[in-house]
Amino acid sequence: METSKNDILRVGVIGPGGAGRGNTLGFATRPDAEVVAAVDTNEASLDALEDALRERVDGYKANSFKRYLGEHEFVEMLNHEDLDIVGVFSRHSLHDIHTKYAMRAGCHVIVEKPMANVVGDAIAITKIAMGSGLHLVGGYQRHYEDTYMAARRAISEGRIGNLQKFDVYMAQRWGAHGWRGDPRFSGGGQPNDSGSHIQDIFLWMTGTLPVEVCGTTDMKFEDDDGNVITKLVEINSYSDVALDNDAEGTITILGNTRVGFEEWFILEGDEGTIEIKNGIRYTPKGGEAEPLSYQRPEGYPRNKVDQLVGLVKGEYNTNYTSGINGVRTSWLTNCILEAGKGPEAKNRVNCDAIIEKEGYTRQDVLTFIDECASKSCY
């Protein structure tokens, strides 16, 4: 069913800097969407968006989007621009606030990762979307990549049997620059920034929830001259994680590395193993490793922007990056960060205790997952 108010979808953007600019261009370069307004606290960010639109959008007329400048001007934009879609690409600590305002203004929303810094806020956002009938798409682009889609399908089909062990690893030269190094805005350093992506896709592929985290974090970063600097947010995290299917393994998220970007997943079950590193391989128990691939499902969205536009226009019925992913991921991230706050080398955190502080239980989340699935939100 078509739910847009306009033939050409009117898009407004909150925070079109950095990654937000790329997402904004994802809308602007489509024939069925137009970026009509943007708000930021930094005028240079709006200038950079204008330059990018002139360069990338055929037929773009200079200064054709309405500018809003200021910390609270997003409210004015929502009140006056008759928007169909809002892109929330602001600083991490503001995601849940901006998303709530946008949905309460009747807008569909795409929100960058993390959807919320705190699991209780992630649940609240998703409940608003479900209750209002609005579409909420999270910023987890790996859900649209063939590699991870193949792993998820293979696991759901039982190719590895019951997941028993896992090793999840990500390393990036991440120096906590700019607002990401400010705890007021970052919400938890690298584990809550790029690290959010690998936590999300791990939980999405395996269909699991965390039960316990025993881990530690540090705030040490070695600069290009070899000086070790203590930052104000978490740079590295080392976590032993137990899942609700009794699997146990490690999730390592590093921001202090010189090797560039690295990422891998080893998912070992009682019937086989999936390894994702420079491609994806499946090894049946007692057998030889082989490439793993499936034909991409017909009608599967190309990316997260395509996902939201298609949902709003009635071209897609399934949301593959719905709010439930933000719930699962924020829950695990909160546990990893909480473990790092303890006084010992590794501290044990009960995941149920973390979510109960927000007024929810594990059963609430399981019920919510089923409710989302009943509305084709995965």
The residues spanned by each domain of the chain are 9-141, 143-297+321-374
d(CA 304, CA 8): 18
Do the Cβ atoms of 289 and 306 come closer than 8 Å?
no
Residue 293 has pLDDT above 60, yes or no: yes
- Decide yes or no: CATH 3.40.50.720 for domain 9-141: yes
Amino acid (one-letter) located at 163: L
Q: What is the mean pLDDT of residues 313-327?
A: 98
Q: Sorting pLDDT into bands at 50, 70 and 90, what band is 57?
A: very high
pLDDT at 70: 97
User: Does the pLDDT of residue 55 top 90, yes or no?
Assistant: yes
> What percent of the chain is predicted at pLDDT more than 70?
98
Element (DSSP H or E) covering residue 197: helix 194-206
Average pLDDT over residues 93-121: 98
Does the domain formed by 143-297+321-374 have CATH 3.30.360.10? yes
Q: Identify whether the C-beta of residue 45 lies closer than 8 Å to the C-beta of residue 19.
A: no
Q: Which helix (H) or strand (E) holds 45?
A: helix 43-56
Instruction: State residue 140's pLDDT score.
Output: 98
Segment 168-184 shows an average pLDDT of: 96
Report pLDDT for 79: 98
- Taking residues 208-220, report their average pLDDT: 98
Long-range contacts of 224-232 (CB under 8 A, 24+ apart): 231/175, 231/176, 231/181, 231/189, 232/176, 232/181, 232/182, 232/183
What would the mean pLDDT of 158-166 be, rounded to a whole number?
98
Backbone angles phi, psi at 292, to 5 degrees: -120, 125
H or E element in which residue 155 lies:
helix 146-156
What separation in angstroms does the CA of 306 have from each of 27, 30, 88, 153? 8, 9, 16, 21
Distance CA 9, CA 367 (A): 33
pTM above 0.95, yes or no: yes
pLDDT digits (tens, 9 = 90+) for 249-276: 999 999 999 988 999 999 999 999 999 9
CA dihedral 168, 173, 175, 177 (to 10 degrees): -100
Q: Which of 195, 141, 180, 186 is nearest to 336 (CA)?
A: 195
282 pLDDT tier (thresholds 50, 70, 90): very high
Tell me the average pLDDT of the chain: 97
Distance CA 233, CA 217 (A): 10
Euclidean distance between CA atoms 159 and 137, whole angstroms: 29
The mean pLDDT value for 13-17 works out to 96
pLDDT at 3 (0 to 100): 56
Distance, in Å, from the CA atom of 129 to the CA atom of 114, rounded to the nearest integer, reads: 17
pLDDT score for 259? 86
Separation of alpha carbons 123 and 305, rounded Å:
22
Q: Would the pLDDT of 1 be above 50?
A: no
Phi, psi of 130, deg, nearest 5: -65, -40
Strands (E), the chain: 9-14, 33-40, 66-69, 85-88, 108-111, 136-138, 163-171, 210-218, 220-222, 228-230, 236-243, 248-254, 262-269, 272-276, 280-284, 290-291, 347-350
Indicate whether 52 pLDDT > 50: yes
Look at residue 5 in the predicted model and tell me its pLDDT. 62
Whether 4 has a pLDDT exceeding 90, the answer reads: no
